[in-house]
Amino acid sequence: MNEFSNTEFIKATARNLGFDFCGIAQATELSEDARRLEKWLAQGFHGDMEYMEKNFDLRIDPRKLVPGAKSVITFLKNYYPNKSDQQIANKQDAKIAKYAWGEDYHEVIRNQLHELLDILRKKIGPIEGRGFVDSAPVLERSWAQLAGAGWIGKNGNLIHPQSGSFFFLATLIIDLPLQYDAPLVKDFCGTCTKCIDACPTQAILPNKTIQANHCISYFTIELKKAEIKTDTHYKDWAFGCDVCQDVCPWNRFSTPHEETKFKPLNHLLQMNKADWMQMEETTFKARFNTSPLLRSKLKGIKRNIEYLNHQEKAD
């Protein structure tokens, strides 16, 4: 098989496995991204996420993650929910970000990447490669843009021009040369500032700079301290936040996903603050043992709700 037929086979296999997009970029050092990342870290916008400072050289050069790497393949997998589930979620007083309604996307997509790589090896021959799903030093959004998947919006999310931004990003780095897609060089955000205006914590700065340590997702997931100490006001969010995506005009093109494993788990959308505060640890683990919610644990969700209650009293 040649580069063209290998490329076509990879993209067809990705579609068959349930990925919504597959694009390919040449493995090379991301020099410009390296400079932006250095500046962002120097400004302290990563807060307590010390892991962002580690493995800097691996983040900017995939050939150091996979020796001999030739291609970086980006996959998008839709997680946008159906209308009825969204209507239920809108009534919650302890909101959960949409990406965390179903099973842990890390495991779901990682298994699909492994299956894809196995298929490629059987069809094409020996291939060295590694798959990554938001769990390694890989600049997924930069590679997605280079692979033609979309552009980086003002809210820091990758935006696909036909489908919006409610996608998980996955990356497969392999030592096989392929045909490379043209990057989407135009930014279609234009003069729109809806995400900036709507952000409850003013975490979105000009020039597509995100103060991650001001983001609701940071406070409710990444921050591991026993108590949230800040004057930041936000409403209803117990795990993550979707505000900047919900207001983005490009997400009017979003369509409901077809992945059964991303459907809401165990009446998650019917739960309110009181339900969470009354829940026991054993119940939490039994009901959400395959959920991304395990990342913050039950004590983390209860801490977040206690902060919400504190803010309500202060108001």
List, for the chain, all residue ranges whose pLDDT scores fall below the cut of 50: none
CA dihedral 54, 58, 60, 62 (to 10 degrees): -160
Which residues have CB under 8 Å from 1's CB, separation 6+?
9, 123, 124
Spatial separation of the C-alpha atoms in residues 193 and 186, rounded to whole Å: 17
Residue 283: what residue type? T
SS3 content of the chain, % helix, strand, coil (to 5): 45, 15, 45
Q: How far apart are CA 201 and CA 220, in angstroms?
A: 13
Contact by Cβ (8 Å): 20, 77: yes
pTM: 0.94
> What Å distances lie between residue 90 and 94, 122, 242, 269, CA to CA?
10, 46, 11, 9
283: which residues sit within 8 A by CB, 6+ positions away? none
Of residues 134, 175, 236, 246, which has the active-site annotation?
134
> Cα dihedral angle (141, 142, 145, 146), rounded to 10 degrees?
-140
Residue 1: the pLDDT is 66
57/64 Cα distance (integer angstroms):
8
Tell me if residue 10 falls in helix, strand or coil.
Answer: helix
- Which residue in the block uniquely carries the two structure tokens 């700065």? 205
Q: Where are the domains of the chain?
A: 3-174
Q: What is the pLDDT of residue 131?
A: 95
Task: Tell me how far apart the alpha carbons of residues 277 and 33 are, in angstroms, rounded to a whole number.
Answer: 42
Q: What is the pLDDT of residue 85?
A: 97
Q: What is the pLDDT of residues 8-32, one digit of tens each?
A: 999 999 999 999 999 999 999 998 8
What is d(CA 116, CA 14) in angstroms, rounded to the nearest whole number? Answer: 7
What pLDDT sits at residue 207? 85
- Rounded to 5°, angle at Cα 250 from 246 and 254: 75
Q: Is 252 exposed, middle or buried (0-12, 13-18, 19+ CB in 10 A)?
A: exposed
Task: Identify whether 134 is a catalytic site residue.
Answer: yes
